């Protein structure tokens, strides 16, 4: 009787040693004459538990958390004997509070089995959504998306149903589905986790999108820094093709959909949808002016749906269980669930999928467990490098697009980076301008020149403190960038800068010898 | 009429391109109600309402880009501050272009710009003519609080490699107008932005400078640049112009409109005229930059006479020269007969000037010995289109290509020979139109940036008719003809005759393959594409006409167009790419031995009588000599006097030694030209000519578009060309009295039906007019044959393929063909006297590597090229553009002697020389040919005779 053992090959898991654990396991298990099957699954996103060694037991799926190669001989003894008395044993996965307290709709399959195992995907409910979609009219599919209240999970939070409706309504011989898998925000990893752990969900979601709007070709624009995701996606695409789930006449319908992965080349701005399209077309990755909207004139001038990985993945659940079901979760205008990515100076980082309306503080305290350093939380940046820094006092807000915006923050793609009280907010403000300067496409003046000037002002501030003139200049510059930039890169860089100045003024103390009277 | 002087100012710029069609949309801008076509940008709508929105990266020749962020406006109901250039108007929109908030934003943006810009405005070449400077003023910038010690680009080096303009990257504001101009307007894609973010800089390639890059020096980027970054060297040297004169280019048949921008009597810049309908603000290296020849030291400015050509010249007054010439001409007529003298009019001179020359021949000489250079280029067009369609001219305007779905380019190389039209063509191809290239060479259009021909048919030189017959055969055979059109618009009997001819099996693609060298499959594909691809237009050049079956080929083209209904509306047609700036005009004005002005036979009594009535002189009813006949007659003793205006037959006509012998046998050769050309070396009277900058008049381009030429400076020789001809005619006893070219045009209009409505007042008002300009079409005719052909019904003409007599033999196994390149123009008289020689200092022989290898020829070797007529020597350039068996050269430099080798073969109908097919052999040699040595020493001697000229 063969034991099925699971060790993640996900990038984060490997970074904390999963590969060495797996190798040690194979050696030791062979030596111990243990009959086993080793499945390299995706990570469940509970990084505090990785490397997580799971096994199918009589009780169900159980696991050993934060395993090191040194632990392996003992773990194997437990497996052989069927006695789980190891200090790292954590019992049934389904009963681990860190995971079971979440509402895993999008990430329900991550970690369940081998990511490229199509049968497993289908056994766990995969492709139900597509089967339903093939039985509906295009408009009916779009209506279902509208009913779900799904909004773009990349960061802009635009209602997905409206976007698809626009593409559906625009006549053309050729339409495209483009998945924005250029997850560039520092501290975010949800897209990667999904692509490495449950690639078929993205494929199925894009196929449904193609059927809905009449697009026969899809591209996944994947950032070059995600080689493992590329591997998983390409293998999954091949398998889906072989099974008649991609290509001509999908599942014997009249619909066809082809899909390809295209790699980026190290540019944050190519996560902006129009720069992404330019890059896909083989041009320099600079931003295009809107109008025209990509939904009307996008890739190669054709109507194009550009959506984030999670948005497209969520579509599968919506078409499997209905839009109303999805809308059941969430609050106000933020429907469904959001996979938050908790990172930075935090004890238990990882992926936390909760319905909108959850308390931000509880996410950081209950799941995060406070800072890793043990020192107080001083600042939290939400929404990536273009998100605002909230002070500890401001964390009593619900996770909801509008609520966070009202609190001066931005939910964005759901990245949450925690800082303790050793953080220097002037340096963080400098980082914001520096990041913009480094990643700017260079097309528009406020960003191209503004970011460099902002960095220079903050160089001065970091070195010798801020004068009143410095602050006035910095705030004016922020206004210019916010109001005049061509895209959200330059447009949102002021958000972290202003929030740093406004919420942490003490870090921007006017240096006594430099102070000037404000006019 | 004196040219109107306009104070210099930059031409109006509406920010984004005009939208021509579309429903009218009404919106309110700053309280004013404006109505513009749907698709117009808010910025342009504002401009049209008289409201200037500050801008930097927008210019109305280019699509909106949205990068400077200066033109932001407030639109009611919309968040934020959209850029007005990228926002299309919408009905009922309410826009505010000025507010405190917008002012703050704009100042904020300008502050950033100026923080990275040199502050040397007062000594900068574009001081007073700089958009950055003006915009900083418009937005009220007062302070650059960042200081100037931060990162900047102000120390970057200049690129001064181009002879015509400088690229000073330190002043660049990265607006990308130059990059976009090179893409959208010119279509060369030589520029890009390299680097990212703050490091973004305009670049011509990784290592290269402008001169070594793909840049073709069209100047579009220079015109588009809002700062001093790209500036003409002439402006850097001389300063901003103070007044300008609108005129027309004197190079090719595109006929670009230009503003000759001047300081005093000196032209400091030629700026393409945005309202010129042929070019719409674009130009090429020649018209834009190569105007310096008009003041070159080689300019001949004094009349000269001599009794024989081995004597030194004698510089004399105009009166003396004209009297001498007239006397000699009369003497020759006395001795050798009425028909022993004649003239060649210039296709570079104005309509008015050509009119006077042919009038002088007809009324002063008393014969019809008048011909023009069209003889050697597009005379088959004249014949062929007259026969089939009834009018000797192209059927469309250049803008029509924007509506074409399938474009055929045959025997032409527009990107080099008609560059501004070539750019229009490439733009349409980038939009998705299909292209069929029929040419023995892989011309640029076959594969250029973002342009690729669907089919390239590399037809064997000489087999054009066989190929066109095969295409027509396919169209009929596969049932693709437009039977309705043929039935309604063409002569039934002629069509039936043609139909049974074309259906013969020898016209099938499979049978023609042996002659044409083109696969039958490709022929069929081409036929299908042309017949069924939508609007299909044919553009052709000298690769069609300069053949022994040139006229036949033109008729075959017209046949195809009629067969498929591709005539009589926009986007289709038969379009001969006329070479010279006024060759169309020269033909229109009757520079033909057999036709009076307006293409009407001299033998037609009614026509002739109308002229006799107007001119008060009896006219010769017998056709006169064509140019080749003039040479033959000269050698056989019957033709002894020639007035040759602005035409260098010794360099441009085929079989040079034959021409030289003929010229040597003349008793009185009068040459009127701006330089001492090759022909002048055989002359007895030299009359200094005037360049296009030195006279008023009109040119007619390949679109039949009559445009004004306006005097910018006084003629260096003292007389405009028309004044010289007037003087000669008067010296011959003609009772003429013209005060101005306007007056001459009035006479032209009175006597030439297609010009009936043309007046200088109308040209002033409309800018230009395409003939026919008649009562029914008082503003001209862009598209011809819309409801009926000029001759009524179209005539199909049987076009049997007759191979040229010029065959490859064992002795001469290669075929030599000729053509043009971008930077040099025709015989090079003008362009060789400018910096354009930087790009093409000598003519070379392009030879396929296979042919070169089997002859032991390597790159740069001297190669002797011999035909049964003669031989010359050129340097070899190995090239894949020609197929094995074909070699190619140009004829821009006299010493090249390309025409020493070309033959006497010519078109059966018009005697257009078969320049495109000469059987040759090529072999390595160690030095130039004997002819070339003699040419060089003759050249030297004749130049000396000018220098030694005594003042008489």
Please state, in angstroms and rounded to a whole number, the distance separating the CA atoms of residues B524 and A17.
66
Contacts of B104 in chain A (CB under 8 A): 479
Contacts of B193 in chain A (CB under 8 A): 284, 286, 442
Q: Which 3 state secondary structure label does DSSP give B572?
A: coil
Please give the pLDDT value at position A514: 45
Digit-coded pLDDT (tens) for B217-232: 999 999 999 999 999 9
- In this complex, do B150 and A443 lie within 8 Å of one another by their Cβ atoms? no
Task: Phi first, then psi: give them for residue B6, nearest 5 degrees.
Answer: -110, 135
In Å, how far is A272's CA from the nearest CA of chain B?
15
- In this complex, do B112 and A444 lie within 8 Å of one another by their Cβ atoms? no
Please state, in angstroms and rounded to a whole number, the distance separating the CA atoms of residues B697 and B710.
7
What the block records as the tokens of B553 is 């080929």
The beta strands (E) that lie in B848-901 are given as: 862-866, 871-878, 886-889
Is A171's pLDDT higher than 50? yes
- In this complex, do B174 and A448 lie within 8 Å of one another by their Cβ atoms? yes
Residue A501 near residue A471 (C-beta atoms within 8 A): yes
Digit-coded pLDDT (tens) for B757-815: 999 999 999 999 999 999 889 999 999 999 999 999 999 999 999 998 888 899 999 99
Please state, in angstroms and rounded to a whole number, the distance separating the CA atoms of residues B540 and B918.
20
- In this complex, do A484 and B113 lie within 8 Å of one another by their Cβ atoms? no
Give the other-Cβ count within 10 Å of A472's Cβ.
14
Q: Which 3 state secondary structure label does DSSP give B951?
A: strand
What the block records as the tokens of B198 is 């703050």
Please state, in angstroms and rounded to a whole number, the distance separating the CA atoms of residues A92 and A83.
14
Helix (H) or strand (E) holding A36: strand A36-39
In Å, how far is A477's CA from the nearest CA of chain B?
7
Please give the pLDDT value at position B4: 57
Is A7's pLDDT higher than 60? yes
Residue B842 pLDDT class (50, 70, 90 cuts): confident
- In this complex, do A485 and B112 lie within 8 Å of one another by their Cβ atoms? no
Of B81, B113, B150, the CB nearest to A456: B150
Please give the pLDDT value at position A384: 94
What the block records as the tokens of A382 is 């939400």
What the block records as the tokens of B756 is 């009936």
Q: Give B432's contacts (C-beta < 8 A, 6+ positions apart).
A: none
Q: Is the dihedral of CA A77, A83, A84, A85 positive or negative?
A: negative
Cα–Cα–Cα angle for B273, B278, B279, rounded to 5 degrees: 50
Q: Rounded mean pLDDT of chain B?
A: 94
Q: Does B113 touch chain A (CB under 8 A)?
A: yes
Q: List, in sequence order, every residue forming a beta bridge with B271; answer none if it has no partner.
A: B259
CA distances from A408 to A158, A383, A390, A402, B80 (A): 19, 12, 8, 10, 18
Residue B314 near residue B304 (C-beta atoms within 8 A): yes
Which chain A residue shows the shortest CA-CA distance from B197? A442
Burial B525-536 (b: 16+ CB within 10 A, else e): bbbebbbebebb
Of B66, B195, B200, the CB nearest to A486: B66
Of B68, B113, B196, the CB nearest to A440: B196
Share of chain A above pLDDT 90, in %: 96
Which chain A residue shows the shortest CA-CA distance from B74? A483
Task: Phi first, then psi: give them for residue A57, nearest 5 degrees.
Answer: -115, 180
Residue A1 pLDDT class (50, 70, 90 cuts): low
Please give the pLDDT value at position A516: 45
Closest CA to B652 of B891, B862, B947: B891
- Helix B605-615 with B741-751: angle, nearest 10 deg: 150
Residue B227 near residue B132 (C-beta atoms within 8 A): yes
Please state, in angstroms and rounded to a whole number, the distance separating the CA atoms of residues A115 and A10.
10
In Å, how far is B215's CA from the nearest CA of chain A?
20
Q: Does B66 touch chain A (CB under 8 A)?
A: yes
What mean pLDDT is predicted for residues B632-647? Answer: 95
Q: Give B318's contacts (C-beta < 8 A, 6+ positions apart).
A: B303, B718, B719, B724, B727
Please give the pLDDT value at position A465: 87
What mean pLDDT is predicted for residues A492-519? Answer: 77
Q: Does B108 touch chain A (CB under 8 A)?
A: yes
Q: Is the dihedral of CA B619, B620, B623, B627 positive or negative?
A: negative
Residue A206 pLDDT class (50, 70, 90 cuts): very high
Digit-coded pLDDT (tens) for B440-479: 999 999 998 899 999 999 999 999 999 999 999 999 999 9
Which chain B residue shows the shortest CA-CA distance from A455? B150
Please give the pLDDT value at position B892: 81
DSSP percent split of chain B into helix, strand, coil, nearest 5: 35, 20, 45
Q: Rounded mean pLDDT of chain A?
A: 95
The ipTM (two decimal places) reads 0.94
Q: Give B43's contacts (C-beta < 8 A, 6+ positions apart).
A: B14, B15, B16, B53, B55, B58, B64, B71, B84, B85, B87
Residue B946 pLDDT class (50, 70, 90 cuts): confident
In Å, how far is B555's CA from the nearest CA of chain A?
39
- In this complex, do A484 and B108 lie within 8 Å of one another by their Cβ atoms? yes
| Number of alpha carbons in the 13 Å side-chain half-sphere of residue B718 | 12
Residue B826 pLDDT class (50, 70, 90 cuts): confident
Please give the pLDDT value at position B890: 86
What the block records as the tokens of B873 is 């020597």
Contacts of B111 in chain A (CB under 8 A): 480
Please give the pLDDT value at position A216: 98
Between B22 and A154, the more confident residue is A154
Q: Give B100's contacts (C-beta < 8 A, 6+ positions apart).
A: none
**Which of A483, A488, A490 has the most B C-beta neighbours within 10 Å, making it the best mutation to test the interface with B?**
A483
Task: Phi first, then psi: give them for residue B44, nearest 5 degrees.
Answer: -70, -40
In Å, how far is A462's CA from the nearest CA of chain B?
16
Digit-coded pLDDT (tens) for B25-78: 999 999 999 999 999 999 999 999 999 999 999 999 999 999 999 999 999 999
Q: Give A176's contacts (C-beta < 8 A, 6+ positions apart).
A: A215, A217, A218, A219, A298, A299, A300, A302, A303, A304, A305
Please give the pLDDT value at position A510: 61
Please state, in angstroms and rounded to a whole number, the distance separating the CA atoms of residues A513 and A2.
75
- In this complex, do A448 and B198 lie within 8 Å of one another by their Cβ atoms? yes
Cα dihedral A495, A500, A504, A505, rounded to 10, equals -100
Of A284, A443, A450, the CB nearest to B112: A450
What the block records as the tokens of B948 is 């030694």
Please state, in angstroms and rounded to a whole number, the distance separating the CA atoms of residues B848 and B881.
8
Please state, in angstroms and rounded to a whole number, the distance separating the CA atoms of residues A276 and A279.
5
**Which of B108, B177, B180, B450 has the most A C-beta neighbours within 10 Å, making it the best mutation to test the interface with A?**
B108
- In this complex, do A448 and B66 lie within 8 Å of one another by their Cβ atoms? no
**Which of B16, B43, B67, B78 has the most A C-beta neighbours within 10 Å, making it the best mutation to test the interface with A?**
B67
DSSP H helices, B752-813, are 760-766
By the 10 Å C-beta count (0-12 exposed, 13-18 middle, 19+ buried), A83 is classed as: exposed
Three-state secondary structure string covering A24-78: HHHHHHHHCCCCEEEECCCCCCEHHHCCCEEEECCCCEEEECCCCHHHHHHHHHH
Please state, in angstroms and rounded to a whole number, the distance separating the CA atoms of residues B130 and B138.
12
């Amino acid at each position: 009787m063969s034991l099925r053992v699971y060790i993640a090959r996900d990038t984060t898991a490997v970074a904390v040693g999963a590969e060495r654990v797996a190798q040690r396991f194979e050696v030791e298990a062979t030596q111990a004459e243990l009959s086993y099957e080793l499945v390299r699954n995706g990570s469940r996103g509970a990084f505090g538990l990785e490397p997580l060694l799971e096994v199918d037991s009589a009780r169900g799926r159980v696991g050993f958390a934060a395993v090191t190669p040194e632990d392996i001989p003992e773990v194997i003894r437990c497996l052989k004997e069927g006695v789980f008395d190891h200090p790292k044993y954590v019992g049934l996965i389904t009963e681990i509070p860190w995971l079971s307290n979440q509402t895993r709709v999008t990430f329900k399959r991550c970690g369940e089995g081998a990511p490229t195992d199509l049968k497993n995907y289908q056994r766990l409910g995969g492709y139900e959504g597509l089967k339903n979609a093939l039985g509906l009219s295009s408009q009916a599919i779009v209506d279902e998306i509208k009913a779900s209240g799904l909004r773009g999970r990349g960061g802009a939070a635009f209602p997905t149903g409206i976007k698809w409706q626009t593409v559906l309504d625009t006549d053309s011989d050729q339409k495209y589905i483009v998945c924005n898998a250029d997850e560039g925000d520092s501290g975010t990893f949800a897209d990667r986790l999904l692509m490495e752990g449950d690639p078929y969900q993205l494929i199925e979601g894009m196929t449904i999108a193609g059927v809905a709007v009449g697009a026969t070709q899809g591209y996944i624009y994947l950032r070059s820094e995600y080689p493992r995701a590329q591997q998983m996606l390409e293998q999954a695409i091949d398998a889906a093709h072989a099974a008649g789930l991609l290509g001509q006449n999908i599942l014997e319908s009249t619909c066809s959909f082809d899909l390809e992965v295209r790699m980026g080349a190290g540019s944050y701005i190519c996560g902006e949808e129009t720069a992404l399209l330019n890059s896909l077309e083989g041009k320099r990755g600079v931003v295009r002016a809107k109008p025209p909207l990509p939904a009307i004139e996008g890739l190669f001038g054709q109507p194009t749906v550009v959506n984030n990985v999670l948005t497209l993945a969520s579509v599968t659940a919506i078409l499997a269980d209905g839009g109303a079901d999805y809308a059941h979760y969430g609050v106000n205008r933020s429907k469904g669930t959001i996979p938050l990515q908790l990172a930075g100076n935090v004890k238990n980082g990882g992926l936390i999928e909760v319905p909108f309306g959850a308390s931000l503080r509880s996410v950081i305290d209950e799941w995060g467990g406070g800072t890793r350093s043990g020192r107080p939380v001083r600042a939290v940046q939400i929404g990536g490098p273009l998100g605002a820094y909230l002070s500890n006092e401001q964390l009593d807000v619900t996770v909801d697009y509008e609520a966070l915006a009202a609190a001066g923050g931005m939910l964005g793609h759901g990245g949450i980076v925690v800082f303790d009280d050793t953080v220097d907010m002037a340096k963080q403000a400098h980082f914001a301008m520096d990041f913009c300067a480094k990643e700017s496409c260079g097309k528009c003046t406020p960003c191209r020149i503004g970011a460099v000037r902002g960095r220079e002002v903050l160089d001065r501030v970091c070195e010798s403190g801020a004068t009143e003139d410095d602050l006035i200049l910095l705030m004016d510059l922020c206004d210019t960038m916010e109001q005049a930039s061509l895209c959200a890169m330059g447009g949102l860089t002021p958000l972290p800068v202003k929030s740093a100045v406004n919420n942490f003024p003490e870090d921007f103390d006017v240096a006594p010898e430099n102070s000037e009277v404000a006019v | 009429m004196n040219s109107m002087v306009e104070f210099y100012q930059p031409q109006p710029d509406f920010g984004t391109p005009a939208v021509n069609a579309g429903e009218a949309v009404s919106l309110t801008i700053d309280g004013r109600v404006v109505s513009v076509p749907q698709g117009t940008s808010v910025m342009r709508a504002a401009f049209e309402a008289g409201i200037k929105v500050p801008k930097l990266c927008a210019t109305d020749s280019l699509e909106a880009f949205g990068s400077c962020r200066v033109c932001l406006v407030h639109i009611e109901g919309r968040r934020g501050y959209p850029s007005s250039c990228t926002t299309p108007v919408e009905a009922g929109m309410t826009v505010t272009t000025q507010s405190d908030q917008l002012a703050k934003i704009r100042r904020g943006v300008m502050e950033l710009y100026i923080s990275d810009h040199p502050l040397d405005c007062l000594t900068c070449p574009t001081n007073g003519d700089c958009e950055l400077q003006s915009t900083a003023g418009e937005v009220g910038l007062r302070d650059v609080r960042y200081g100037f010690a931060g990162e900047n680009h102000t120390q970057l080096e200049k690129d001064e490699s181009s002879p015509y303009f400088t690229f000073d990257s330190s002043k660049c504001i990265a607006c990308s107008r130059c990059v976009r101009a090179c893409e959208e307007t010119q279509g060369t894609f030589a520029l890009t932005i390299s680097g990212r973010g703050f490091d973004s800089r305009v670049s011509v390639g990784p290592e290269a400078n402008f001169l070594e890059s793909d840049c073709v020096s069209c100047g579009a980027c220079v015109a588009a640049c809002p700062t001093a970054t790209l500036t003409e060297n002439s402006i850097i040297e001389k300063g901003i112009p103070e007044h300008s004169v609108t005129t027309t280019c004197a190079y090719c048949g595109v006929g670009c409109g230009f503003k000759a921008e001047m300081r005093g009597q000196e032209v400091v810049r030629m700026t393409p005229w945005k309202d010129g309908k042929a070019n719409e603000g674009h130009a090429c290296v020649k018209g834009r930059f190569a105007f310096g020849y008009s003041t070159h030291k080689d300019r001949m400015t004094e009349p000269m006479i001599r009794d024989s050509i081995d004597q030194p010249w004698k510089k004399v007054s105009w009166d003396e020269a004209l009297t001498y010439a007239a006397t000699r001409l009369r003497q020759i007529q006395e001795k050798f007969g009425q028909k022993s003298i004649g003239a060649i009019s210039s296709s570079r001179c104005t309509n008015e000037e050509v009119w006077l020359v042919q009038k002088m021949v007809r009324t002063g000489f008393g014969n019809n010995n008048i011909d023009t250079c069209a003889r050697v280029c597009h005379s088959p067009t004249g014949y062929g289109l007259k026969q089939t369609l009834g009018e000797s001219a192209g059927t469309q305007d250049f803008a029509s290509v924007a509506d074409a779905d399938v474009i055929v380019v045959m025997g032409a190389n527009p990107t080099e020979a008609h560059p501004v039209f070539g750019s229009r063509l490439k733009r349409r191809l980038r939009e998705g139109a299909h292209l069929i290239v029929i040419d023995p060479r892989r011309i640029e259009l076959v594969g250029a940036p973002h342009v690729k021909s669907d089919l390239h048919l590399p037809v064997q030189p000489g087999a054009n008719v066989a190929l066109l017959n095969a295409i027509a055969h396919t169209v009929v055979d596969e049932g693709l003809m437009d039977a309705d059109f043929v039935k309604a618009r063409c002569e039934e009997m002629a069509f039936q005759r043609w139909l049974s001819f074309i259906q013969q099996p020898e016209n099938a693609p499979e049978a023609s393959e042996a002659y044409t060298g083109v696969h039958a499959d490709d022929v069929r594909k081409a036929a299908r594409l042309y017949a069924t691809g939508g609007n299909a237009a044919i553009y052709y050049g000298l690769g069609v006409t300069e053949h022994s079956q040139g006229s036949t080929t033109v008729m075959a083209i017209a046949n195809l167009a009629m067969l498929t209904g591709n005539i009589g509306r926009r986007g289709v047609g038969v379009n001969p790419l006329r070479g010279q700036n006024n060759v169309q005009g020269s033909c229109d004005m009757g520079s033909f031995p057999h036709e009076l002005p307006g293409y009407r036979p001299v033998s037609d009594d009614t026509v002739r009588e109308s002229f006799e009535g107007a001119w008060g002189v009896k006219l010769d009813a017998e056709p006169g000599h064509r140019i080749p006949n003039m040479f033959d007659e000269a050698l056989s003793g019957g033709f002894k006097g020639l007035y040759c205006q602005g035409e260098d037959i010794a360099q441009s006509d085929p079989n040079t030694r034959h021409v030289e012998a003929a010229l040597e046998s003349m008793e009185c050769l009068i040459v009127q030209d701006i330089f001492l050309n090759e022909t002048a070396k055989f002359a007895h009277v030299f009359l200094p000519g005037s360049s296009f900058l030195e006279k008023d008049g009109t040119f007619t381009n390949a679109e039949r578009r009559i445009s004004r030429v306006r005097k910018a400076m006084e003629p260096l020789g003292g007389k405009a060309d028309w004044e010289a001809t007037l003087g000669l005619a008067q010296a011959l006893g003609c009772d003429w009295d013209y005060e101005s070219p306007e007056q001459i045009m009035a006479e032209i209009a009175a006597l030439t039906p297609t010009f009936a409505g043309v007046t200088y007042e109308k040209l002033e008002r409309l800018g230009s007019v395409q003939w026919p300009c008649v009562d029914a079409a008082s503003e001209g005719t862009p598209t011809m044959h819309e409801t009926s052909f000029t001759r009524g019904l179209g005539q199909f003409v049987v076009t049997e393929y007759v191979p040229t007599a010029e065959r490859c033999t064992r002795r001469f196994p290669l075929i030599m063909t000729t053509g043009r390149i971008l930077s040099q123009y025709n015989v090079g008289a003008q362009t060789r006297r400018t910096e354009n020689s930087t790009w093409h200092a000598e003519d070379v022989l392009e030879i396929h590597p296979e042919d070169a290898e089997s002859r032991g020829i390597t790159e740069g070797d001297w190669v002797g090229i011999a035909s049964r007529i003669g031989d010359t020597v050129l340097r070899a350039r190995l090239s894949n553009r020609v197929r094995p068996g074909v070699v190619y050269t140009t004829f821009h430099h006299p010493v090249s002697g390309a025409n020493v080798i070309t033959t006497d073969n010519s078109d059966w109908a018009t005697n257009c020389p078969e320049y495109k097919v000469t059987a040759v052999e090529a072999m390595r040699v160690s030095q130039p040919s004997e002819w070339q040595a003699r040419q060089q020493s003759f050249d030297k001697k004749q130049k000396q005779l000018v220098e030694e000229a005594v003042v008489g």
